[in-house]
Structure 1
């Protein structure tokens, strides 16, 4: 049987935010430790970061900033979720981020059912999160949608059915999304284990090979580039 990656690669592109925005209006965003412009700007708060991204979007005449798969970042250092003495630092991002205004519609990547959902509260966490389960060509896998609005999970039930590009929810503001500038964290997961409404979106360098295999590049689905 072909691998999941091969199967996803041959499928048509899927949108996971506002389907009316074409990929011509997307711009790549580098948030890695090597981005000197980011280091010079030193955004400290969610508002600072949103202003930083908004300025880049305006300059590029774009509506969505995207990127981040397997990117090494410094922005997690402010949270003990990622940076504490009890475990190796987690700073490798294992999903794709799509940065755009709060309340933007979030769409199901494929036909699927709600596996789980949860409000993952705390600085640097996902906030409201939905995980869908999919079965495509005998591959069972999952997609995670993090940093949503509280309204996105208010009336949700495990087992609810969504069709591809149906509105799943909306993006949350910084006061509910883990204190980030508004964006969607989108991630593919092969083996979800016992996780419910949550799954690591950032890993340590030590675990990077495992998570790169278990969480394939979301651009296989989105096909932005």
Structure 2
């Protein structure tokens, strides 16, 4: 059987956010604990991050900032979703974030069907979320779209067909989107593990090996350069 990562590498997808914006207008963004520049900024609220990200976009003459796969981040410390007295800390991001400070259109990367959807309302969670199921060649896998607008869930049905490039949502704004600066969390999942409308987008160091295999780098599919 063909390797799944090699399969993704040769698969042609559509842009998942505001397709009229070309990849030439994207810039990488590092929100990891190793980026010492973050220490020079007060980054506590969604608004703090909006200002920081907009400054990064303006400085680089860009319209969308992207990155985050396998980044270890401090941003999750504010939420019990990622750490409480009964769980180990989850702070390693296993999706790709696409940051844009407006309610941009969100589109299906590939042909598929709606697997599930849900509003994950806890502070720091995804907010409104859609998961698509894809069956291409011998592979069955899923793409997750998190931090959406609330109204995008009202017309969805499980099993509904979706075409590559079709608009499936608009980006959510804080606080509906989990109370983050506006961005799309895009993730590829091989084994959905019976999850419905939700799947971990952040993992602990002890579970990293599993999630690296189950959730490969989404940019292998999107091919942002």
TM tier relative to shorter chain: over 0.9
Aligned to 1:142: 142
Contact 1:14/1:221 (8 A) holds in 2:
no
Give the whole-Å Cα distance in 1 for the aligned partners of 2:102 and 2:157. 23
The alignment status of 1:35 with 2:4, answered yes or no, reads no
Contact 1:101/1:171 (8 A) holds in 2:
no
Contact 2:13/2:164 (8 A) holds in 1:
no
Aligned to 2:192: 192
Consecutive unaligned residues in structure 1, runs of 5 or more: none
Aligned to 1:179: 179
Give the whole-Å Cα distance in 2 for the aligned partners of 1:169 and 1:101. 16
Runs of at least 4 residues of structure 1 off by over 2 A? none
The Cα of 1:155 is off from its aligned counterpart by 1.0
Aligned to 2:108: 108
TM-score scaled by length of structure 2: 0.98
Contact 1:189/1:216 (8 A) holds in 2:
yes
Aligned to 2:60: 60
The alignment status of 1:123 with 2:123, answered yes or no, reads yes
The Cα of 1:13 is off from its aligned counterpart by 4.4
User: SS where residue 192 of structure 1 aligns?
Assistant: coil
TM-score scaled by length of structure 1: 0.98
Contact 2:115/2:133 (8 A) holds in 1:
yes
Contact 2:13/2:109 (8 A) holds in 1:
no
**How do 1:41-80 and structure 2 match up within 5 A?**
41-80=41-80
User: SS where residue 144 of structure 1 aligns?
Assistant: strand
Contact 1:27/1:64 (8 A) holds in 2:
yes
Give the whole-Å Cα distance in 2 for the aligned partners of 1:213 and 1:39. 32
RMSD: 0.8
Aligned to 2:81: 81
**How do 1:145-160 and structure 2 match up within 5 A?**
145-160=145-160
User: SS where residue 77 of structure 2 aligns?
Assistant: coil
**How do 1:162-173 and structure 2 match up within 5 A?**
162-173=162-173
- Greater CA drift, 78-87 or 167-176: 78-87
Give the whole-Å Cα distance in 1 for the aligned partners of 2:211 and 2:72. 14
CA-to-aligned-CA distance 1:135-183 (integer Å, 9 cap, x gap) = 1111000000000001111111111111111101010011101110000
CA-to-aligned-CA distance 1:82-137 (integer Å, 9 cap, x gap) = 12221110000000000012320001010000000000001000000000000111
Contact 1:83/1:89 (8 A) holds in 2:
yes
The alignment status of 1:209 with 2:209, answered yes or no, reads yes
Give the whole-Å Cα distance in 2 for the aligned partners of 1:13 and 1:61. 25
